[in-house]
Amino acid sequence: MAPPPLLLLKDIRLTFGGSPLLDGAEISVSAGERLGLVGRNGSGKSTLLKIAAGLVEADDGARFVQPGATIRYLPQEPDLSGFATTRAYVEAGLAPGDDEHRASYLLMALGLTGDEAPATLSGGEARRAALARTLAPEPDILLLDEPTNHLDLPAIEWLEAELKSSRSALVLISHDRRFLENLTRATLWLDRGRTRKLEKGFGAFEAWRDEQLAQEELERHKLDRQIEREKDWLRYGVTARRKRNMGRLRALDDLREKRRTQRKAQGSVQLTVTEGATSGALVVEAKRVSKAYDGRPIVADFSTRIARGDRIGLVGANGAGKTTLLNLLTGALAPDDGVIRVGANVEIATLDQKRASLDPSTTLRDALTHGRGDTVEVGGQTKHVVSYMKDFLFDPEQAGSPLSALSGGERGRLLLARALAQRSNLLVLDEPTNDLDLETLDLLQEMIGEYPGTVILVSHDRDFLDRTVDAVIASEGGGRWQEYAGGYADMIAQRGRGVDARGPAAATASEKPKPAASAAPPTARKKLSFKDQHALDTLPKRIEELEAEIARLAAKLADPQLYARDPKASAKTSDDLAKVETEKAAAEERWLELEMMREELAAG
């Protein structure tokens, strides 16, 4: 017999503004369970976690906690007010008998001294202090709402190792796929107010979810067909005309009511990018560039060439200088030494991680149109602003709402909408994954893969990097930056470790025998990156097109009169044929390489 759950939520119902947010949701958490709670932004995940923590009371349903079981909850926006230092804040979360030394260890491991004044903390530092407070008591159950928000890669990998070694049960909300895959052994899907559980980790969830939605669509189609049959019977059936079979009429009404009350899955964000003119082959060139602040080198003697179509990821700990390097490469910041050359016809669209471009008093309509009318130019077409809002899952009623009323996820979608509406051939994305749900991340990855221009992005999301970039520029410390081919997992394979931590987190790695994130073995790739899969799917068609072009050029050169008639045209055709044959050979070689990689991954 299975042991009784430590925490149980049964038939939880909660309504906000007349619409049910939770409509029969359930959670069961047993000792040592590793549960991922997933769902769209706005589906009620954070609210359900707060109900589980006892911070919000449901309209209906039951909450049961085993007597003596301890629960600790990490909110998305921790409140440190009322405490003189971060150490005081963390120690206030300890119960009698808890180890105070563990609180000190966690603070130092997370890059804090314990003496920081809460009023001076950044969002990332406040999140680290809240993590230390939550983890220090080693409770029976950890309820973590987006624990990786505002954390850099070293902190994320350290936290992952810490949670893996913890004996606490875990309920985790996160948009970080790699984090979810590595930590969960079961997945709870909150969709349209109800929960469905998969007894497997997040790695198996998305395929299962798609099967569930496909089955649901099939059932909806069957129901529509059944309603049509009953309507035909009602119109033409002899029995219906003569006797008005009331039982069958009631059944038809029931079907109609069932169809009306079905809540369809929420739509997807529609990402369309506005393309600028084609840039030159060279987009950015840096030659021995250096930049320092207050004598501390941020970038030292760095050189690179970024060509049209490249996808470059910048990675490093917080404070390593990723945004500084990004600004240098795009010409927004002048170097102290060296030369930055931005190529011809480069048009830049930027997504700002700090949301600095958003005036809280501006309305959503004006933020999208820049205060100029009711239309937006997107992808070469003019769209009404309300239609464009719907593409990013905003309701028409929100058009006149101030930006201060938007959630973090909504602000993230708004910034994406603004960036993608700009004409560009260089897309600069600084932490684009912040506050985006998994489905929107999927579409953003797809958009980046199909974007015809060049992409430079900063991200702490390992899975996102693996799916989108073909090269990584990593901080090596002391202002040194090194470029590696491939995604984040490829960088680890070449470098032998992940991104290095800065400050106390790096200095205290030896204080407790925990596995250091930077020394962790590389995560094995389970599948091709999005870019590689896209290339594998599209290269055969491209090879066929190149073969057809080779045949056309060869037939043209076969004309014995061509050279005599037009020597320049003959020479150009010959050159074109050589170029196309070279491109075809490269495409065939790349396809063969990817096919072998796919077979190895399938076998492994």
Q: How confident is the model at residue 583 (pLDDT cuts 50, 70, 90)?
A: confident
Token pair listed for 600: 């190895």
Most confident of 35-39, 98-102, 484-488: 35-39
- Residues of the chain within CATH 3.40.50.300 domain(s) are 7-207, 282-347+423-519
Q: Please report, for residues 150, 153, 428, 496, 508, the alpha-carbon distance to residue 473 in angstroms, rounded to integers and kept in the order given.
A: 20, 14, 14, 15, 26
413 is in an annotated binding site: no
Query: For 367, phi and psi rounded to 5 degrees?
Result: -65, -35
What is the chain's mean pLDDT, rounded?
A: 82
| pLDDT grade for 554, boundaries at 50, 70 and 90 | confident
184-193, 282-291, 323-332, 524-533: which range is least confident on average?
524-533
Q: Provide CATH 1.10.287.380 ranges for the chain.
A: 530-603
The response to whether 409 counts as a known ligand-binding position is no
Say what the pLDDT of residue 253 is: 59
What is the average per-residue pLDDT within 285-307? 92
Residue 432: alpha-carbon gap to chain centroid: 8
Tokens encoding 51 = 């109900």
Q: Is 82 exposed, middle or buried (0-12, 13-18, 19+ CB in 10 A)?
A: exposed
Tens digits of per-residue pLDDT, 55-71?
A: 999 999 999 999 999 99
The fourth-level CATH superfamily of domain 7-207 is P-loop containing nucleotide triphosphate hydrolases (3.40.50.300)
pLDDT at 522: 42
Rounded to whole angstroms, the Cα distance separating 374 from 378 reads 13
Render pLDDT for 182-218 as a digit per residue (tens, 0 to 9).
999 999 999 989 999 999 999 999 889 888 888 887 8
Q: Does residue 245 register a pLDDT over 80?
A: no
For the record, the structure tokens of 134 come out as 């939550």
Do 223 and 255 meet the contact criterion of CB atoms below 8 Å apart?
A: yes
Residue 43, annotated as binding a ligand: yes
Query: Do 194 and 45 touch, CB atoms closer than 8 A?
Result: no
Q: Is 327 annotated as a binding residue?
A: no
Paired sense of beta strands 194-198 and 381-384, if any: unpaired
Task: Tell whether 529 is in a known binding site.
Answer: no
> Order of strands, edge to edge, in the sheet holding 141-145?
71-74, 141-145, 169-173, 34-38, 186-191, 194-198
- CATH number assigned to the domain with residue range 530-603, chosen from the 4 options 1.10.287.380, 3.30.1330.10, 3.40.30.10, 3.90.190.20: 1.10.287.380
Contact present, 131 and 102 (Cβ < 8 Å): no
Q: Is the pLDDT of residue 262 over 60?
A: no
What is the arithmetic mean of pLDDT over 130-147?
95
Split at pLDDT 50, 70, 90, the class of 520 is very low
How far apart CA 166 and CA 172 sit, in angstroms, is 14
Q: Which CATH number fits domain 282-347+423-519: 3.40.50.300, 3.10.105.10, 3.30.360.10, 3.20.20.140?
A: 3.40.50.300
CA atoms within 13 A on the CB side of 401: 16
Tell me what pLDDT residue 504 has: 42
Distance CA 107, CA 83 (A): 15
322 appears as a binding residue in the annotation: yes
Sign of the alpha-carbon torsion through 529, 530, 535, 541: positive
Please check if 40 is assigned to a binding site. Answer: yes
Q: Is 517 annotated as a binding residue?
A: no
Quick: pLDDT tens for 356-401: 567 788 898 888 888 888 888 776 678 888 888 887 778 888 888 8
Q: What percentage of residues in the chain have a pLDDT greater than 70?
A: 83
Residue 474 has pLDDT above 90, yes or no: yes
> Is 46 assigned a ligand-binding role in the annotation?
yes
The answer to whether 412 is a known ligand-binding residue is no
- Asked if residue 521 has pLDDT above 60, the reply is no
Question: What is the CA 405 to chain-centroid distance, rounded?
Answer: 23
Residues 6+ apart with CB under 8 A from 229: none
| Position 483 confidence tier, pLDDT thresholds 50, 70, 90 | very high
Burial group, residue 348, by CB count within 10 angstroms (0-12, 13-18, 19+): buried
Instruction: Kindly tell me if the per-residue pLDDT of 94 is higher than 80.
Output: yes
The full DSSP string for 76-133 is SS---TT-SSHHHHHHTTPPTT--HHHHHHHHHHTT--S---GGG--HHHHHHHHHHH
